[in-house]
Amino acid sequence: MSTDRGAGGTTPLTKSLLTDRLDLLRLSAADRRVSGLLVLVHLWAAAVPALTAVATGWLVAGLTGAATGRQTVSAVAWPLIAVSALLVADEILTSLGRTLEQYNAGLIDARIRRRVRRLAMAPSSMAHLEDPVFADEAARASDVGEGRVRSPGTAAVGQLRLCFRFLGALGSAAVIAVSFSPWLAVVLLVVCAVNRALIRRWWVHLAEVRDERESMRRRAEYWSDVASTGPAAKEVRLFGLHEWVVRRRTHELLAWAETIWSARREILRQQGWIALLAAIAAGSALLLPGLAAARGDLSASALMTVIVAAWGVFQIASMGREAFDIEYGLGAVRALERLNTTQHGIATSAGTDVQQAGEPSATPEEGAPATLRTEGLVFAYPGSQHRVIDGLDLTVRSGEVLALVGHNGVGKTTLIKLLSGLYLPTAGRLLVDGRPLDAAGASAWRKRVAVVFQDFNRYPLSLADNIALSAPEHRHDKEGIRAAARRAGVDVLADRSPDGYDTLLSADRTGGTDLSGGQWQRVAIARAVFAVEHGRDLLVLDEPTAHLDVHAEARFYRQVVAEVTGATVVLISHRLSTVRQADRIVLLEAGQVTEQGTHRELLDDGGEYARLFRIQAARFTDTGPRTGEKEAAR
């Protein structure tokens, strides 16, 4: 994903004021009925200031008339009822409006989050999910942050409210124009609009500062999670890290907050301009009609009408959170647009899954397990220049069991992610059944692959569901689930639990239980076996015996790998006892194949594989430790 976005990985928040506003208004119409009701409530709210001004003037006229004995009691009662009714109705409708706004904002936010999820799932490979720019933009767009300060929904409903507030100010200005002076009405409107524009500019600046610091906030949140969530809690307690983690979190949080507060302090320093403009507006609204009344050119009732109406005009210069909600939430909308453009770019530059999934490149040859060939394959992780895979040429024949071995970090897992279509090569080609695999075919290809990753998932579901998840359309195949469980050696778990295959594998759910690391690994193997039994024709096993005891490891090849008939198998293991029976063993070094052959051939060659094997074997012989240590030291 491109990072060419200026500071903080963002484009400027404003594209065009009008387009921005229209985008937000469109967004606010997420649900026609709710937004229709909101419009009615806002219309009422817009009319209230002008109506209150007129009713107050009427009340004052009634009161002064009653005082001089020229008016009856009803001349005071009716305007009093009108003013009270306006106030009560305003209270009720304001509460209703707030509830509707919250509901509408929730609908809009949920819709945006769904779009972000779709965008995250859209590209063929998963490289973008490890891209910090994508992570920041997704966080900006879907407001996953603490306190929900950035919400497209809040921005959209705020924008709708603001439009009607302007309408209300126009209504109040019209009352001033009719009751006193069109000039005063215009001046008040202009001064308040300028005031608002100044405030808005500062909020935009603050929103940009927050945007640029998004990754700082994510770091602080990470340490919050470490301090309080389950997976890290064991180590945090055991190593007594709690205070250190809290200090680290506080440090990160303060560093982030300081940048925001310094922007806020800057804004506060400039508030003098706002105060001056507000003083001009308030002064002219009170002074000019006041002087006219003193001269006898304006009645007391008209004076009150003008003053109350002026209050209505001031509403558009208000300093409330609304401006921040709008500007900051708008940043979320812009982030969504950027995600849209970039993800669409990725999809279209390589062809979208939707358009081209199932292209011939990923079509299996008549019933035969997959054949894979890499030609000059190169891969570097996003944002890194380091070629983890560096010009790799390898053929995996249909139906063979190929083992990948090599030192830590040479790129074995990376290679199987490429072979499985999870990443696309930086250069070179991967051919599946003789045809080049591109983004278009990757999605269809992945449907032919079953993988047990080193960091396999542990789903808080039943044992049966944990196995059947690899082919959910066959989850009613009870016999298939049992067969996969038997081969992976997890049938004993079902046998000794009263709930059998319905046993819930989650200790934090009522009636649930947890498994050991080795038992979970067997469940992951059963899951992959189940997928192969339902048609997947490449089985990839990354360190499948890492958690298994010696008995289970010894049985693994015989019961799982040797039993696979309809699939090609790629197996990674540091335990050379696990891979020695493979049809072919490939040694990777520095992202390339440096040795390959059967176990016997590689031992006879006396290369690096033979050396590694001797080190491991020596550990189990009497004279072993010394020989092994010497070998390791070489």
Interface contacts to ligand ATP, rule CB under 6 A: 130, 381, 384, 388, 406, 408-414
Residue whose C-alpha is closest to residue 122's, from 342, 430, 331, 334: 342
Which is nearer to ligand ATP, 142 or 414 (by Cβ)? Answer: 414
Q: How far is the CB of 408 from ligand ATP (least distance, A)?
A: 4
Which alpha helices (H) appear in 181-213, and where do they start and end?
Answer: 182-212
Closer Cβ to ligand ATP, 304 or 410, answer by number: 410
Say which amino acid occupies 427: A
CB of 411 to ligand ATP, least distance (A): 4
Phi-psi region of 6 (alpha: psi -120 to 50; beta: other; left: phi over 0): left
User: Which tokens in the block code for residue 455?
Assistant: 């960091």
Question: How many C-beta atoms lie closer than 10 Å to residue 73's C-beta?
Answer: 9
Pairing state of beta strands 538-542 and 568-572?
parallel
Cα 257 to Cα 58: distance, rounded to the nearest angstrom:
51
Q: 136 or 208: whose CB is closer to ligand ATP?
A: 136
CA atoms within a 13 Å half-sphere pointing along the CA-CB vector of 368: 13
Residue 385 vs 565, nearer CB to ligand ATP? 385
The nearest distance, CB 416 to ligand ATP, in angstroms, is 8
Q: Which is nearer to ligand ATP, 128 or 213 (CB)?
A: 128
Shortest spacing between CB 24 and ligand ATP, in angstroms:
36
- Complex with ligand ATP: residue 408 or 623, whichever CB lies closer: 408
Measured from the CB atom, the residue of 63 and 541 that comes closer to ligand ATP is 541
- Shortest CB 145 distance to ligand ATP, Å: 23
The phi-psi region of residue 38 (left if phi > 0; otherwise alpha if psi is between -120 and 50; otherwise beta) is alpha
Instruction: Report d(CA 157, CA 325) in Å as an integer.
Output: 9
| Pairing mode of beta strands 449-452, 387-396 | unpaired
Q: If phi over 0 gives left and psi between -120 and 50 gives alpha, with beta otherwise, what is residue 423?
A: beta
Q: What is the nearest approach in angstroms of ligand ATP to the Cβ of residue 406?
A: 6
Q: Minimum distance from CB of 386 to ligand ATP (Å)?
A: 7
Q: How far is the CB of 417 from ligand ATP (least distance, A)?
A: 8
Q: How far is the CB of 414 from ligand ATP (least distance, A)?
A: 3
| In the complex, minimum distance from the CB of residue 459 to ligand ATP, in angstroms, rounded to a whole number | 23
Q: Least distance in Å: CB of 415 to ligand ATP?
A: 7
Strand ordering across the sheet containing 387-396: 387-396, 372-380, 427-432, 435-436
Q: Which residue, 413 or 470, has its beta carbon nearer to ligand ATP?
A: 413
Lateral strand order in the sheet of 449-452: 449-452, 538-542, 568-572, 401-405, 584-589, 592-597
Q: Where are the beta strands (DSSP E) in 230-345?
A: none
B/e letters for 610-634, b = 16+ CB within 10 Å, e = fewer, are bebbbbeebeeeeeeeeebeeeeee
User: Measured from the CB of residue 345, what is the shortest distance to ligand ATP in angstroms?
Assistant: 21
Choose between 338 and 412: whose C-beta lies nearer to ligand ATP: 412
Of 535, 515, 590, 528, the C-alpha closest to 556 is 528
In the 8-state DSSP scheme, what is residue 364?
P
Looking at the Cβ atoms of 415 and 467, the one nearer to ligand ATP is: 415
Least distance in Å: CB of 130 to ligand ATP?
5
Question: Of 388 and 615, which has the nearer Cβ to ligand ATP?
Answer: 388
d(CA 276, CA 299): 29
Using the minimum distance from each CB to ligand ATP, give the nearer residue, 317 or 388.
388
Output the smallest distance, CB 410 to ligand ATP, in A: 4
Interacting residues of 274 by C-beta distance below 8 A, sequence separation 6+:
195, 198, 199, 319
8 Å CB contact between 438 and 347 = no
Least distance (Å) from ligand ATP to the CB of residue 448?
A: 22
Q: Which residues of 475-514 are buried (b: 16+ CB within 10 A; e: fewer)?
A: bebeebbbbbbebbbbbebbeeeeeebebbbbeeeeeeee
Q: Cα angle vertex 31, ends 29, 36, to 5°?
A: 70
Residue (31 or 608) nearer to ligand ATP, CB = 608
* Other beta carbons less than 10 A from residue 37's beta carbon: 16
Of 475 and 575, the one with the shorter C-beta distance to ligand ATP is 575
**Would you say 57 or 411 has its CB closer to ligand ATP?**
411
Residues 6+ positions from 70 with CB-CB distance below 8 Å: none
> What's the gap between Cα 507 and its chain centre?
27
Amino acid letter, 271: Q
